[in-house]
Amino acid sequence: MKVQISNGMFMALIINMIYAKAIGVTQGSMAREVGGDIWISTLIATIQGGVIMFLVILVIRRMLEGDLIDQAARLLGKWFGKFVALITFLFFLAAYGPVMSTFVFHLKDYFLPEAPILLFIIAASLLGTYAIYFGVEVIARMALIGVFSIIALNILLMFGSLSEFDIRELRPTFQMGFLRTVWASRHHNTDWAMATIMAGIILPMVADKKTWGKMGFAGIGYGMVFIIMWPILEAGVLSPETAAQ
């Protein structure tokens, strides 16, 4: 039986793919370059991610039953398809490091400061392997639960931060220059690259093919809303200098 996921699951996977790193390591990296303009860099990267997502959906629609790897094999032969598969594997292998660092930093700093780092790495790896064993459909269902957890976390963040928010920390805009602000968006572009390549692989599993584009952009839009409040509050409450640390 062919595995299929709903449009809502697809949207949830996009949001979960980018959220964890985008609110932590990514914002710190951008803050070290552009200070309080991190929210502008985040917005620019989201627009770029939307364009690339649109192009990926156009490519997949050429052959509805094939993902990016199948498309590459049909276009230039099976060896090119294998090459694209290898590049995709290496990309996600490299992305594993920054995502894992976010996972480790949050759990170690706030919950288990005395636990060894290796414990978190092993636990996350085993959990990921366990999820892969059950397949994409189960992971997608958990992603739906993850979205509700993200919403709850953002609401708690707003309630706890708005009283301390100082909009003067966000001024002036483009204080490091427009081009430097755009260049800093590359840090968040890597987050969207993970979501875009994932979409290129799992799109053929999405049940309603007519709404691929709509749900892809919905995932990007909601992801942006959930993420962009973090750089705004981090800069406005903690100050850009603290966010950079």
Per-residue pLDDT 10s for the chain (245 aa) are: 466 777 888 888 888 888 888 887 888 888 888 877 888 888 898 888 888 888 887 777 776 667 778 887 887 888 888 888 898 889 888 888 888 877 777 777 777 777 788 888 888 888 888 888 888 888 888 888 888 988 898 888 888 887 777 777 777 778 888 888 889 888 888 888 888 888 888 888 877 667 766 777 777 888 888 888 888 887 777 766 666 66
pLDDT of 230? 82
Q: Label each residue of the chain as H, E or C.
A: CCCCECHHHHHHHHHHHHHHHHCCHHHHHHHHHHHHHHHHHHHHHHHHHHHHHHHHHHHHCCCCCCCHHHHHHHHHCHHHHHHHHHHHHHHHHHHHHHHHHHHHHHHHHHCCCCCCHHHHHHHHHHHHHHHHHHCHHHHHHHHHHHHHHHHHHHHHHHHHHHHHCCHHHHCCCCCCCHHHHHHHCHHHHHHHHHHHHHHHHHHHHECCHHHHHHHHHHHHHHHHHHHHHHHHHHHHHHCHHHHCC
Nearest 5 degrees, angle CA 54-CA 136-CA 226?
A: 55
d(CA 74, CA 29): 39
179: its two tokens: 């081009």
d(CA 32, CA 47): 22
Task: Decide: 202 and 67 in contact? Cβ < 8 Å.
Answer: yes
pLDDT of 3? 65
Count other C-beta atoms under 10 Å from residue 54's C-beta.
15
Identify residue 206 by its one-letter amino acid code.
Answer: V
Count other C-beta atoms under 10 Å from residue 181's C-beta.
22
pLDDT of 1? 44
